[in-house]
Amino acid sequence: MSSLLVGIDRSASSRRAVAFAAQLASESGATLHIVHVIPWSPYSFTSPAENDQRGVSKHQEIATAEEQIILPAVAVTAEFSVTPTTSVVHGSPAELLVSIAAHLGGAHIVVGRTGDSRLKQALFGSTPVRLIQIAKTPVTVVP
């Protein structure tokens, strides 16, 4: 295992996933990449007023995620003396994690078990479930 990819959101299980992956990285010497995917689809419907502000909103969303999601996660990895690389991207979470993992040369994917609301999970299935169906590299789901 040369690289680890942790997909995170605001949930508590995400924090546990980061801790788990950081420990694994410090023990195995693998590199660690932390990513937060902002759910976004090119096929969603938007209003014209939203559209002309979209560029502004995109930057704000990324800045907020960096501050509120990525920074706390990096703080967790510091406890294990691991220095991760990070990114915040827009798109479909499971699909993007798979493509980033491939981009990192076949990274092992680590995610928390819960994240989406119960209703959303019931309707669309959760990101971990989708991930297990489509991943081309090993996936660890942390409870």
Partner 1 sequence: MSAPSLTRLPAVSVDEAISNAMTPVADFISGIIFYSVKIGNPESISYIEFPVIVVWLVAAALFFTVYLKFQNVTGVKHAVDLVRGKYSQPSDAGEVSHFQALATAISGTVGLGNIAGVAVAVSIGGPGATFWMIMVGFLSMSTKMAECTLGVKYRVERPDGSVSGGPMYYLRDGLASIGKRRLGRVLAVMFALFCIGGALGGGNMFQANQATSQIINVTGGEDGPLGQWRFVIGLVFALGVAVVIIGGIKSIAKVTEKVVPFMAVLYVLGCLAVIFTNFTAIPDAIGQIFTGAFNPEGIAGGVIGVLIQGFQRAAFSNEAGVGSASIAHSAVKTNEPATEGFVSLLEPFIDTVVICTMTALAIVITGTWRDTSSAAGVETTSAAFATVAPWFPILLAVAVILFAFSTMISWSYYGMKATGYLFKDSPRAELGFKIVFCFFTVIGASLSLGPVIAFSDAMIFAMAIPNVIGLYLMARIIKKEIFGYRAKVRSGEHAMVDQ
Q: Are 32 and 25 in contact (CB under 8 A)?
A: yes
**Residue 123 found at the interface with partner 1 (CB under 8 A):** no
Question: CB of residue 94 vs partner 1: minimum separation in angstroms?
Answer: 15
Token digits of residue 78:
């510091």
Q: How far apart are CA 7 and CA 114, in angstroms?
A: 12
From the list 35, 51, 118, 120, which residue makes contact with partner 1 (rule: CB under 8 A)? 51
Say whether residue 48 binds partner 1 (CB under 8 A). yes
Q: Which of 22, 38, 113 is nearest to 73 (CA)?
A: 22
Q: Are 116 and 77 in contact (CB under 8 A)?
A: no
120 binding partner 1? (CB under 8 A): no
Write down the least CB distance from residue 24 to partner 1, Å: 28
CA separation for the pair 27, 82 (Å, rounded): 10
Nearer of residues 45 and 143 to partner 1, judged by Cβ: 45
Near partner 1 by CB under 8 A: residue from 1, 19, 89, 135: 89
Binding range to partner 1, per CB under 8 A, among 14-22, 36-44, 76-84, 110-118: 36-44
Determine, following the binding rule CB under 8 A, whether residue 119 of this chain makes contact with partner 1. Answer: no
CB atoms within 10 A of CB 38: 17
> What are the residues whose beta carbons fall under 8 Å from the beta carbon of 47, sequence distance 6 or more?
none
Binding footprint of partner 1, residue count (CB under 8 A)? 24
Binding site for partner 1 (CB under 8 A): 38, 40, 42-56, 58-59, 61-62, 89-91
